[in-house]
Structure 1
């Protein structure tokens, strides 16, 4: 688990999204049980097979910001608009992308959903005055950020 977490952190620091890969050989009977009449695997039925998986590795997937995003951020900043990024990405991935777009400077920080949950209203109000990157947040967290 420590090695996997390290891999995820290393890939996230490179602005890559991560995907863990796991495998489990299936018996012919298991395959038959999840195939529909057309021979295509029923994804709902296949969920029951997701146990006793063996970790195979972690893949890093690049999902760069649109080309025009950097220009839009730069234009907003020139106009005096403070840009805030709120995403479901890993905090390290979000921070790196925000730095590449000019939303956050090197050495900045991202607040995560669990960070927000640990803050009372006053602490959150102080944080939103400084922090421009929020990651792994839920819709409820987004409302708290906006309200603050």
Structure 2
């Protein structure tokens, strides 16, 4: 495969469609927790806002300034995160990291849409950006559990 064809595969139409339509792409007015994460390698940033009710996410907002791969990851997260617990989001983040870094399987539902990012395994310089939205969400949720 040539480098050009690998890049076409990496930036598939599905990834670009996800990046163009990120759910919950507005910050919350009164979140219970917020967290900003930045990738020092590429400069991508994601800020998330969360609110919980009965131990699950009841409101979610995100401001994503990342490459198309980071945006696609945030899109999958945003589409599935309402109603999820810290444990489920943490598991999704850990499974995504394993998929990217150690050839692990696609994350379980509700984050199985992350399979679209499987071609990014070979691009280690993009892994941090892909993980940003999940990392920020986990950190925000952990801050709430520590405050309880």
TM-score (normalizing by structure 1): 0.24
TM-score (normalizing by structure 2): 0.24
Larger Rg: 1
Between Structure 1 and Structure 2, the one with more helix by share is: 2
Bigger relative contact order, structure 1 or 2, given CA contacts below 8 A and separation 6+? 2
